[in-house]
Structure 1
Amino acid sequence: MEIKNPRRILAIGAPDSGILPLLKELTGSAPEPSSETTAGLTHEWQLETKYYTATLPIWLDELPNVAEWRAEFTKPEAREVVNVLGAWIYCFKKPVEAKDVATIKETMQAVADAIERACGYGGDMICLAVAMPQSTTPYLEKSSEEWEELAMEYGFEYVDSEAKGKNEFGEALGVQRVREALEAAEWESSADLDFGEEDEGFESSFEAEEAEMNRELFGIKGALAGFDDDANDDEAASGNREVEELEVMMRKMIAIKEMGEGMQSEERKRFASKAVTDLLKDV
């Protein structure tokens, strides 16, 4: 069975958390970043099991500040984005200090809050907390049992990406476990749509604006990365505001796009045209 309009995967993590290496090992490839951030990147995974085939869209987001990310994803307008997700993959480097564990807890709580706000307690999403290799040694030692209990408190399954083989119960470990968990997820979307040629007006209008926003966002973030310690504080603050505004606009763009998926072709085209026009009034 082919799933034509599957739910999405959202892969998140702090900067340099190892999302791209994980995706490459999991899917066989990974998107190429056009700047120093992975925020806004997208990817596709051709998943095939004996029960179904699906091309799963994967969205990437970066969390330099967990509190700010939580504030955005618990807003009412983020509900449409969260509702189309079938799985969350949270990547984090194995912690070096206790404060790193606190950040990991905060991030998992932020995801749990976003899901609860959008779906209530009945969210049927897969949530994986994937520990990636840590180059700094020695790092904080925690047993797998401790990690599993910690992740479970927030509705996550803990996976050590470096683990190989199977455990004493015959269950896969490491990235193979990530694959198995995702294969078992519910990917059927409530909106069973197949975008064809007649829908090009809707797709192209949103894709063009999304691409432009991505370029602007990456450009601004790249410029900010180039500021040195003596840079003008007002310029840096202005750039940060622009980044925040564009990130909010991109999330709204995704939400509006998903809202249009439940409409008939002509209605969807009219909706797309008006929605893009209204959205760009805020730019």
Structure 2
Amino acid sequence: MKRNKILVIGRHNANKLELIKQLLSESQSALPKDANDDTPMIPWTIDTKYYTAEVDLWLDHIESDAEAAVKAFVEDENGVCEVVDGLVLVFRKDEPKSFEDLKLWSTFVEKCDPNVKIVIGTEGDLSETDKDAIEDWCLENMFVYVDAEEKVQKVDDDEFEDKVGIPLLLETLQANMWDGLVTKSSAQAPLDTNEARLQMLNLIDEEDGEFTDLPSGSEIKKMQQELFGAFDDPNDGLDHVFTKIQDLRDQGANLPDSERRKLAAKVALSFASYYNETEE
């Protein structure tokens, strides 16, 4: 079962369908002609420079008992946590009290732990007090806050422009490593998340010269084998890991900065790779 659904939640009048229409347009896609406010699932192909991924935008409305709605979504038998890796909470800025409903979804986050967490305000204006309170809550709860109507202010030609509004929403969703994504380095079958992460490193290494000190996927796999190949040995598996790490530290002390960084990256990514494999 792929964890590739993006749950889009808010009151019926929060203009979620229009939001999705703008999102798809920004990504050079189109809203299905038969889609309406009651369409539960809208398929979307995320197509970036590095990968493509098939995901579903899952629309749902909260009208009255928001607490009961959250409780229903987190029940184990529903299996929602197994398929949702993105949560987008939508409210109207001219109805800031509707944001209070969305705070209850922190329970869903604690239970399901989606990688992507976004709060987005549509329609109208927020007072500075309300805006500060919402942004503080998002920061505290590790959500990205997006003002759907915000536009980029003109800056000097040599000044970097931060994305805002719908482009920021798209960028945040594209940054996730969705289950089943296919990297553009090959035409192979969809990869699991960890394999995709390693191939993404290889792609970046090939296309952007400043990242040439990153280890390749094969180097990470080799390091993982060196570190954890004997880990299951009940006698000295753990001791082997500690000894190997100390050897690597001694080795790194005599390397140039660029090589030492690459060695550190290999060790860190081999730990991440091993952890992801044991979690599956």
Aligned residue for 1:105?
A: 100
Aligned residue for 1:208?
A: none
Task: State the SS of the aligned residue for 1:172.
Answer: coil
**d(CA) in 1 for partners of 2:61, 2:69:** 9
Cα gap change, 1:74 to 1:167, in 2 (>3 Å): farther
Please say if 1:19 is aligned against 2:16. Answer: yes
Aligned residue for 2:50?
A: 51
Aligned residue for 1:157?
A: 144
Equivalent residue letter for 1:186:
M
**How many pairs align?**
175
Task: State the SS of the aligned residue for 1:16.
Answer: helix
**d(CA) in 2 for partners of 1:90, 1:27:** 17
Cα-to-partner distance string for 1:12-51 (whole Å, 9 max, x where unaligned)? 110110101111111033356788xx35521122211111
Say whether the 8 Å CA contact 1:31–1:42 is kept in structure 2.
Answer: no
Structure 2: gaps spanning 5 or more residues: 182-188, 192-280
Say whether the 8 Å CA contact 1:95–1:140 is kept in structure 2.
Answer: no
Say whether the 8 Å CA contact 2:45–2:54 is kept in structure 1.
Answer: yes
Aligned residue for 1:171?
A: 162
Structure 2 residue aligned with 1:10, among 7, 24, 33?
A: 7
What is the CA distance between 1:83 and its match in structure 2? 2.4
Say whether the 8 Å CA contact 2:81–2:111 is kept in structure 1.
Answer: no
Cα-to-partner distance string for 1:132-174 (whole Å, 9 max, x where unaligned)? 013xxx8644475543212223332110011112698732000
Say whether the 8 Å CA contact 1:112–1:155 is kept in structure 2.
Answer: no
Aligned residue for 2:84?
A: 85
Aligned residue for 1:63?
A: 62
Structure with the larger RCO, 1 or 2 (CA within 8 Å, 6+ apart): 1
Structure 2 residue aligned with 1:129, among 93, 107, 119?
A: 119
What is the CA distance between 1:117 and its match in structure 2? 2.4
**d(CA) in 1 for partners of 2:38, 2:139:** 27
The two structures, once aligned, show a CA RMSD in angstroms of 3.2
Task: State the SS of the aligned residue for 1:165.
Answer: coil
Aligned residue for 2:174?
A: 183
What is the CA distance between 1:176 and its match in structure 2? 0.3
Say whether the 8 Å CA contact 2:54–2:180 is kept in structure 1.
Answer: no
Say whether the 8 Å CA contact 1:9–1:87 is kept in structure 2.
Answer: yes
The normalised TM-score by structure 2 is 0.54
Equivalent residue letter for 1:88:
L
**d(CA) in 2 for partners of 1:74, 1:130:** 22
**d(CA) in 1 for partners of 2:147, 2:154:** 12
What is the CA distance between 1:106 and its match in structure 2? 3.4
**d(CA) in 2 for partners of 1:102, 1:143:** 9
Task: State the SS of the aligned residue for 2:13.
Answer: coil
Aligned residue for 1:114?
A: 108
Task: State the SS of the aligned residue for 1:163.
Answer: coil
Cα gap change, 1:33 to 1:154, in 2 (>3 Å): farther
Structure 1: gaps spanning 5 or more residues: 195-283
* Bigger radius of gyration among the two: 2
